[in-house]
């Protein structure tokens, strides 16, 4: 299982690009396989990774994740191929629907039939990434044409933030894997991984089984305090319907119950459960409260490489 670092909300600090480049450079020097950049309300993730990819070598750069609704798939493809070019082929393109409350209340767009939206989106996005021309007229998305981006690095893998059964089935057919957040090991083992693998196999694409799982991590001698902190820091993920459904499936009261907190042996065992569940990439969201916890958490993650 590959181990990566989740970068937190881009632009949240005062260091700008220099701080981001330093974080990725450190992760690369530590030997981590991947660095994941979110798309929330900070810097544009793809633009940021184009800069980082031009500055830092030797580590895969992933988006976790870019919402699809505000960007036409042609523009998403052009941005992704630009990052591929800047990084010499090290992008993992994580995309997702976002959430109904964001799509409708903040962006003023329709969230009607989200699986249809993603199916039409991938039908345009995927061939464009592979240098093909597209002639697609869907119910909500249309594109006729192609891109003229010379890209010897090839297409980046597409990872869809798929949680429910329908979205996992679609992902297995049309994408290269999934990327999850706040999804526990039992749910991954019994729901996410087998559903994705079955759909990929039925579509003649057994290789489309990359599973990236993101969870909060803190190595500490006070797991109770860490869980209390996780309950506050990540509280919103216990309220958004898609994550709430995964927590309920896991039998978890909230995000604190799936966060990996405890001493080195406890956290190591928790990460091992993810690998046993079929996870191919672990995305660690470090949330230590002190320099000591930060050091222990990073040391433990490094020991797994």
Render pLDDT for 2-48 as a digit per residue (tens, 0 to 9).
999 999 766 555 557 888 999 999 999 999 999 999 998 888 999 99
Q: Output the pLDDT for position 12.
A: 54
Residue 98 clears pLDDT 90, i.e. is over it? yes
Q: Output the pLDDT for position 15.
A: 57
Q: Output the pLDDT for position 231.
A: 97
CB atoms within 10 A of CB 16: 12
How far is residue 10's CA from residue 31's CA, in Å, rounded to a whole number? 22
Q: Which residue has the higher pLDDT, 13 or 194?
A: 194
Share of the chain above pLDDT 70, in %: 97
What's the mean per-residue pLDDT of the chain?
A: 95
- pLDDT, tens digit, 9 for 90 and up, residues 59-80: 999 999 999 999 999 999 999 9
Question: Stretch 276-282: mean pLDDT, rounded?
Answer: 98
Domain span(s) for CATH 3.20.20.30 in the chain: 1-160, 162-305
* Fold classification of 1-160 (topology level): TIM Barrel (3.20.20)
Question: In this structure, what token pair is assigned to residue 139?
Answer: 């119910």
| 226: Cα separation from own chain's centroid | 23
Residue pair 182/161 in contact by the 8 Å Cβ criterion:
no
Class of 162-305 in CATH: alpha beta
Q: Which residues of 29-41 are buried (b: 16+ CB within 10 A; e: fewer)?
A: eeebbbbbbbbee
Q: Which residue has the higher pLDDT, 150 or 70?
A: 70
Question: In this structure, what token pair is assigned to residue 116?
Answer: 């249809």
Question: Stretch 273-283: mean pLDDT, rounded?
Answer: 98
């Amino acid at each position: 299982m590959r181990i990566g670092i989740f970068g937190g909300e881009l632009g949240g600090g005062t260091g700008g690009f220099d701080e981001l480049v330093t974080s990725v450079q450190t992760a690369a020097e530590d030997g981590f396989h991947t660095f994941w950049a979110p798309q929330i309300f900070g810097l544009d993730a793809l633009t940021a990774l184009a800069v980082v990819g031009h500055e830092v070598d030797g580590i895969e750069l992933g988006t976790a994740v870019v919402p699809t609704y505000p960007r036409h798939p042609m523009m998403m493809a052009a941005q992704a191929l630009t990052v591929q070019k800047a990084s010499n082929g090290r992008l993992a393109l994580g995309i997702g629907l976002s959430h109904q409350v964001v799509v409708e209340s903040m962006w003023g767009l329709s969230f009607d039939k989200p699986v249809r939206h993603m199916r039409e989106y991938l039908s345009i996005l995927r061939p464009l990434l592979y240098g093909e021309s597209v002639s697609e007229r869907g119910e909500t998305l249309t594109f006729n044409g192609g891109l003229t981006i010379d890209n010897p690095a090839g297409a980046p893998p597409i990872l869809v933030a798929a949680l429910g059964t329908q979205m996992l089935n679609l992902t297995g057919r049309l994408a290269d894997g999934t990327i999850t957040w706040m999804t526990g090991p039992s749910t991954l083992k019994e729901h996410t991984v087998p559903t994705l693998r079955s759909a990929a196999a039925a579509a003649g694409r057994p290789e489309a089984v990359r599973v990236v799982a993101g969870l909060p991590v803190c190595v500490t001698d006070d797991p109770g305090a860490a869980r209390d902190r996780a309950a506050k820091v990540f509280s919103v993920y216990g309220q958004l319907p898609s994550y709430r459904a995964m927590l309920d499936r896991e039998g978890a009261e909230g995000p604190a119950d799936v966060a990996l907190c405890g001493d080195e042996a406890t956290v190591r065992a928790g990460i091992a459960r993810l690998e046993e569940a079929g996870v191919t990439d672990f995305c660690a969201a470090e949330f230590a409260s002190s320099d000591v916890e930060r050091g222990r958490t990073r040391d433990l993650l490094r020991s797994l490489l």
